Structure 1
Amino acid sequence: MLDARSLWDLIELRAEAAPGRELLVDSGGSRMTNGEFRDAALRTAAGLYGLGVRAGTVVSWQLPTWNAGYVLMAALCRLGAVQNPIIPIYRDREVGFIVRQIRPEVVITPSEFGGFDFAAMIARLTEGTGTRHVAADRTLPEGDPAVLPAYQAPQERELRWYFYSSGTTADPKGARHTDAAILAAARGMHSCLELTSEDINGMAFPLTHIAGPIWLGASLMAGASNVLLDRFDPAAAVELFGREKVTLGGSGTPFHLAYLKAQREFALTHPGERAFPTFRLCNGGGAPRPATLHAQIRDEVGGLGVIAGWGLTEAPILTMSTVHDPQAALDDSEGRPMPGVRLRVVTLEGKLAEPGEEGELRAKAPQMMLGYVDPALDEDAFDVDGYFRTGDLGTMDADGFVRITGRLKDIIIRKGENISAKEIEDLLFTHPRVADVAVIGLPDAERGERVCAVVVGGEGAAALEFVEMVEFLRGAGLMTQKLPEQLEVVDVLPRNPTGKVIKRDLVARFRD
């Protein structure tokens, strides 16, 4: 399984090895074994073939986290199409940018989902083009697999995927990816988490994220199962994940915080019991996490705690913790580089950093993209030695553990002084009345930028006051030069599907 050359090869191998083993369960009640999944994908591939989809055809699709979404993904793999999975909450701005840039021949969406009319949006965005829309409301086009041509596995660097980054600061960036990149990340995750056929993964994030095919690959390698939740609701997660005996509680900081809150609420009526009794760990990535979260998940939710990783759409899961890492590393690191990944840390002055010294993380990796859809972006994306500039700031210690300290673009420059937003966020997360926080830089005529803390208060707790915040940060040892000059209290922070705070929205809201 680990040597499969493509995602479709892996689907076939697992269907042959364990056809009756359950692979997918979704919140709509659909259940599929490995064999049923393979067969459904072949029928859908035949249906799409009848609609003119061939090897190399560009197909954009935007389905929720349903079994049907994975069936469509697999069918497009079988056909050798170039597929472009799109996050379901993207709307006219993001989807319009994507379809204008890659000009798909076919776009597949639900007619309607979550009260939104997808069909009307696609009609608006593709008017006057040759793009066809296919509605898929938990059902997909089907045909006789006998019409399909023989399967041709892709070459190692053959384009098969377009994935778009979250675009938290600008237009989304399209990354061109291969099956080889997806499988490289899947193999690493399979190893780090020690996945087995006994594992059941709780998937509450969009399967159209790049982690979607990676999780499919990793679970097929291990013979594991997946339980899919199409809209994250903590109460629904407790019920579904508990009923299905989920062992892996994914998939990022917002979900882990929700599990922690659900556990605390559950404990009020079920003292001494677990809301998620079968969790063996919470796998995570995609967004920064409070330094206290691993221990809280371990001690309250149960299992090994948060086994975290770090990566980007351009190069997914570059580092990952393992189930054997020391607790000190699990507390605040994102693990060590995955197999085949080469990392270097470059200081803001441009020299290679010493162990523990902060700088920009740069990478070469088998899961690296081929390049951006817009080739004009490639020149600035790679340094002179061919390392990808991730834009993330961090450190790597003598044992290889990576710690993320912020983003290059998330450095606030106040009176010429560089201030890390993450440093202040991590401190404020420890305040007992802070449930969520983002620190942003706002334009300021005198200072260049001023530091603003945007805080979500704890449920039922009094709102944090400015003077109280300052005293708390001083007591925590924060330098006077880094203290926020502004505090805003909000009900919720705007986040993208991977959990990253959309700071441009906060800047726009509070800049004046």
Structure 2
Amino acid sequence: MQFDPILPESRIRAMRAAGLWGDHLLTDSLDAAVAAQPGATAIVGRNSLTGERASLTYAELAARAERIALGLSRMGVGRGDVVSFQLPNWWQFTALHLACLRIGAVTNPLMPIFRERELGFMLALAESKVFIVPRLYRGFDHAAMARTLRPRLPRLARLLVVGGEGEEDFDQLLAPQPGADARAIFAAGRPAADDVVQILFTSGTTGEPKGVMHTSNTLFSNVRGYIGRIGLGAADVLMMSSPMAHQTGFMYGLMAPILLGAKVVLQDIWQPEEAADLIEAEGVTFTMASTPFLSDLAEVGARRPASVRSLRMFLSAGAPIPRVLARRAAESLGATIISAWGMTENGAATTTRPDDPPEKAFETDGCPLPGVELRVVDAEGQPLSADQEGRLQIRSASNFVGYLRRPEWFATDAEGWFETGDLARLDADGYVRITGRAKDIIIRGGENIPVVEVEGLIYRHPAVQEAAVVAMPDARLGERACAFVVPRPGAGAPSLAELNAFLLREQIAKQYLPERLEVVEQMPKTPSGKIQKFQLREQAKSLTPEQRQG
């Protein structure tokens, strides 16, 4: 397939001159780890379907990746061909990306939640040559679904199934390839560091998934800055429970451990008790996931403090972290809580620093990583001064190189500023506070409600485990606020009157109070833990206020 990355020569020259881009590939990090410590553990994981535990050294991981690369090459996969795989956090995921790099193929990870409608579109747009799925995952027959898709995908040459049989068996890629000249095949296939190596689909406001394209340089410029900011080293043990088909899992559960030569512990289905077991058994020192994961683990840590004793840092991103949750988690886990903000298009762009004072650590989403610039602009695109809310834009070494076959959606100006779609404030020290999504605003009678701040105050209520505030249509005021709440275990849910009395004691403006409260057992979420507000907004369309105000 021919890619058309938006990568001006001027950007390449500037990034290389700044020392942010080079010629490094992840397979170079793998080779260095094998040379330095071939017997060191690279991956520990468990397949929840079979119950099998995997533990691979760096030498074993490299050998499997090379065999898979040769197997794909024998199937006709080469430079620029797209290999799509819809796999959980299993060792095969990591090995497949390394194998693709060896022969210049493009990795296209797909979230396990996707079904026929999304997959049919994504595989067709990417012109995927090979599609790899698990036989079963979380009770769903991915192999059967993939077979129904094949007739619609004339470019799809092979379907492979982890745990499959016959010509679909993934393990055939691991078979020895007698007579294959691996060195020559890998030398011919090696991509340049500015070639597209990853396509990751993300949802947006355009009505169809967007294929975000990244190069080794855009990915590595982020991972290096991230590692340096939070002080990770080869002696750390990382755990990844967020899906590796999400940029969080890919960059910091797949790439970062190999760059460090460290061990990573993979969890394929989030279970907080099991996560605590893994932390204790493997000596995990660092993990990263979204806010609900942090909340869940903090609950376990409060009951089982010994199980999380080795954990020194939890980085929470994916959604603005309620500050009361960050403080509570820091106490129950005995770990430093790092807040971060980022996107599929650029990875983690900001983090707090491990030694930040409480007002930065708990009240902001961090400051830019090396090679990242942020600005907040008004409706006309003019930069705003400190502490004013506006549209957040980013210019970064890790910014992506375009959307697959949709260059018109790039949303990046001639100076390299990318429109994030977020609303934010920047303080005088350059720390950002995400205040909401541009499309997530609630406008009540002409006045904007600061959704993220209201949610943060609701989280302070002792009976609240999770909270989300969305717009509820109203004929008179246009919109009103509806709060969805999951009660804490063993706690009775507050009434709307009780919740609002609590919020007034927290000195919230009366106009910002929720006007309906929906108590739910659980929030609709993505596998990475983000609350799916579009589902809540859909539910709120048919709701009416419980009490009238204003």
Query: What TM-score do you get using the length of structure 2 for normalisation?
Result: 0.87
1:445-484 alignment runs, 5 A limit: 445-484=475-514
From 37, 51, 65, the counterpart of 2:61: 37
Q: What is aligned with 1:173?
A: 210
| Unaligned stretches of 5+ residues in structure 1 | 267-272
Q: What is aligned with 1:46?
A: 70
Question: Contact conserved, 2:320 with 2:365, CA < 8 A, in 1?
Answer: no
1:424-443 alignment runs, 5 A limit: 424-443=454-473
Q: Does 1:327 align with 2:358?
A: yes
Question: Contact conserved, 2:280 with 2:309, CA < 8 A, in 1?
Answer: yes
Question: Contact conserved, 2:103 with 2:190, CA < 8 A, in 1?
Answer: no
Question: Contact conserved, 2:351 with 2:369, CA < 8 A, in 1?
Answer: yes
Q: What is aligned with 2:311?
A: 279
Q: What is aligned with 1:247?
A: 285
Question: Contact conserved, 1:23 with 1:33, CA < 8 A, in 2?
Answer: yes
Q: What is aligned with 1:150?
A: 186
Question: Contact conserved, 1:288 with 1:500, CA < 8 A, in 2?
Answer: no
From 33, 37, 41, the counterpart of 1:22: 41
Aligned to 1:14, the other structure's residue is in SS state helix
Compute the displacement of 1:99 (Å).
Answer: 1.7
Letter of the structure 2 residue corresponding to residue 508 of structure 1: E
TM-superposition CA deviations, 1:283-314 (whole Å, max 9, x none): 2211221112232222221122x112211001
Q: What is aligned with 2:150?
A: 126
Aligned to 2:420, the other structure's residue is in SS state strand
CA distance in 2, matches of 1:418, 1:129: 46
Letter of the structure 2 residue corresponding to residue 21 of structure 1: A
CA distance in 2, matches of 1:383, 1:419: 29
From 187, 196, 200, the counterpart of 2:233: 196
CA distance in 2, matches of 1:292, 1:169: 34
Question: Contact conserved, 2:279 with 2:311, CA < 8 A, in 1?
Answer: no
Aligned to 1:357, the other structure's residue is in SS state coil
CA distance in 2, matches of 1:443, 1:47: 55
CA distance change for structure 1 residues 239 and 292 in 2, over 3 Å: closer, same or farther? Answer: same
Q: What is aligned with 1:97?
A: 121
From 180, 189, 198, the counterpart of 1:161: 198
Please report the RMSD computed on the Cα atoms of aligned residues, expressed in angstroms: 2.0
Compute the displacement of 1:122 (Å).
Answer: 1.4
1:362-381 alignment runs, 5 A limit: 362-375=393-406, 377-378=408-409, 381=411
Letter of the structure 2 residue corresponding to residue 137 of structure 1: G
Letter of the structure 2 residue corresponding to residue 198 of structure 1: A
Q: Does 1:77 align with 2:77?
A: no
Compute the displacement of 1:369 (Å).
Answer: 0.8
Aligned to 1:249, the other structure's residue is in SS state strand
TM-superposition CA deviations, 1:216-237 (whole Å, max 9, x none): 3322232221000110111111
CA distance in 2, matches of 1:472, 1:33: 53
1:206-285 alignment runs, 5 A limit: 206-215=243-252, 216-266=254-304, 273-285=305-317
CA distance change for structure 1 residues 327 and 65 in 2, over 3 Å: closer, same or farther? Answer: same
Q: What is aligned with 2:449?
A: 419
| Unaligned stretches of 5+ residues in structure 2 | 1-20, 47-51, 165-169, 543-550
Question: Contact conserved, 1:308 with 1:335, CA < 8 A, in 2?
Answer: yes
CA distance in 2, matches of 1:314, 1:457: 34
Q: Does 1:137 align with 2:163?
A: yes
Q: What is aligned with 2:4?
A: none
Aligned to 1:26, the other structure's residue is in SS state strand
Compute the displacement of 1:213 (Å).
Answer: 3.4
Question: Contact conserved, 1:182 with 1:213, CA < 8 A, in 2?
Answer: no
CA distance change for structure 1 residues 264 and 168 in 2, over 3 Å: closer, same or farther? Answer: farther
Letter of the structure 1 residue corresponding to residue 161 of structure 2: A
CA distance change for structure 1 residues 326 and 168 in 2, over 3 Å: closer, same or farther? Answer: farther
CA distance in 1, matches of 2:22, 2:250: 16
Compute the displacement of 1:401 (Å).
Answer: 1.4
Compute the displacement of 1:321 (Å).
Answer: 2.1
Aligned to 1:134, the other structure's residue is in SS state strand
Compute the displacement of 1:199 (Å).
Answer: 0.4
Aligned to 1:491, the other structure's residue is in SS state coil
Q: What is aligned with 1:183?
A: 220
Letter of the structure 2 residue corresponding to residue 360 of structure 1: R
Compute the displacement of 1:169 (Å).
Answer: 9.1
CA distance change for structure 1 residues 460 and 213 in 2, over 3 Å: closer, same or farther? Answer: closer
Compute the displacement of 1:4 (Å).
Answer: 6.1
From 282, 286, 290, the counterpart of 2:322: 290
